[in-house]
Amino acid sequence: MEAELDAARAAVEAHLDRALAPFGGHDIAAAMRHAATGGKRLRACLVLASARLHGVPDHQAIWPACAIEALHAYSLVHDDLPCMDDDDARRGQPTVHVKWDEMTAVLTGDALQALAFELVTHPEAGSGEVRAGLARSLAQAAGGQGMVLGQALDMAAERPGAALNLEQITALQRGKTGALFEWSAAAGARMAEADPAPLIRYAAAMGQAFQIHDDVIDVTGDAEAAGKAVGKDAAKGKATFVSLLGLEGARARAAALVDEAEDALSGYGSAADPLRRIARFAISRKS
C-alpha cells in the first residue's frame, strides 16, 4: 500500500508542480505550492484506483486526482486559520498563516479552490459532459451542503455545552471528510459514464472508518508521526468517536466499517483490490 501511495504521491506532485508553474513567483503562488505539497494523497489514490477499475487511463485521471488534492489543500489552509482550528503545523510544516499571514492564507485557500475547478475541467480529463459532471459534483461535495457544512458543524461542536451524540458526529464527518472521499471514489465511474453507486457506498463506509481512526490517532498517536498537534480534541473536551465509543469500541467500529466498505466492492471482483487496500490502510496508518 505504501508503494502505491508513493507512486500516486509522486505523480500528483509532479503534475501539480507543472500546473502551478504559470502562477509565477508571487506570495500567493508560493503559498499555493507550500500548501499543496506533502500529505498522504489518499484522495488522489482513490481517484486513480477508481479510474483504473473502469479502464480510464492515468493521463486522464490525473486531472481529477490533482483537483481533489488542490481542493483538500484549500480546506486545510482555511481550517488551520486562527478563527477556525488555529493550528500552527500541518504535514510537519508551518501552516500558511504562520509562514506568511492570515490574509495570504485566506487568498491561498481561495486560489486553491479555483485551481481545483480549473484542473477538473481540463480538456484532457474527458468529454465536455464528463468534465462538467465532475465539476458540478465536486462543487456539491465541497460546498454548503457538503464539506463546508461539515466544517461549520465541527466548529459549532466545539462550543461549550455542544455535546454531540454519535449520530450528529457521523453526520458532521460525512460532510467534512466523507463528501470528498465519495467524490474521489466515484470519479472513475463518472469518467467512464458508469454507475458510481457501489463506489459511493464503499467510500461512505471507508471515510467514516478513516475519521474514526483520526480520532484514535488524536488519542494514541504522537505529534511527530502525525505531522500536526495531537490530543487537541480531548484537551477541548470535544465529543469524538473515541470519547463516545471508548478506544476499543472505536477501533471495532472502524474495522466493521472497513468490512462494510469491502462488501460494497463485491461486484467488482479482484479488480477492486487496490480500493480494498486503501480501506484497510485507512485504519492502520500512523498519521
Query: Which of 29/89 has CB closer to its own copies?
Result: 29
For residue 21, state whether it binds its own copies (rule: CB under 8 A): no
Contacts of 26 (CB under 8 A, 6+ apart): none
Q: Least CB distance from residue 174 to its own copies, whole Å?
A: 15
Cα–Cα distance for residue pair 72/29, rounded to 1 Å:
17
Query: Which of 4/110 has CB closer to its own copies?
Result: 110
Give yes or no for a contact between 126 and 60, defined as CB atoms under 8 angstroms apart.
yes
Q: Return the DSSP state at 205.
A: H
Query: Which of 21/225 has CB closer to its own copies?
Result: 21
Here's the x/- map for its own copies, 142-181, by CB under 8 A: it reads as xxxxx-xx-xxx-xx-------------------------
DSSP secondary structure string for all residues of 134-168: HHHHHHHHHSTTTHHHHHHHHHHHTSTT----HHH
Q: Which amino acid is at 184?
A: S
For residue 64, state whether it binds its own copies (rule: CB under 8 A): no
Q: Least CB distance from residue 199 to its own copies, whole Å?
A: 21
- Interactions with its own copies, residue window 226-255 (CB under 8 A): none
Give yes or no for a contact between 49 and 274, defined as CB atoms under 8 angstroms apart.
yes
Contacts of 63 (CB under 8 A, 6+ apart): 119, 120, 122, 124, 125
- Interactions with its own copies, residue window 23-62 (CB under 8 A): 23-24, 26-29, 32
Here's the x/- map for its own copies, 110-149, by CB under 8 A: it reads as xxxxxxxxx--xx----xxxxxxx-xx-xxx-xxxxx-xx
DSSP secondary structure string for all residues of 234-265: HHHT---HHHHH-HHHHHHHHHHHHHHHHHHT
Residues at the site binding its own copies, with contacts judged by CB under 8 A: 22-24, 26-29, 32, 74, 78, 81, 83-84, 101-104, 106-107, 109-118, 121-122, 127-133, 135-136, 138-140, 142-146, 148-149, 151-153, 155-156
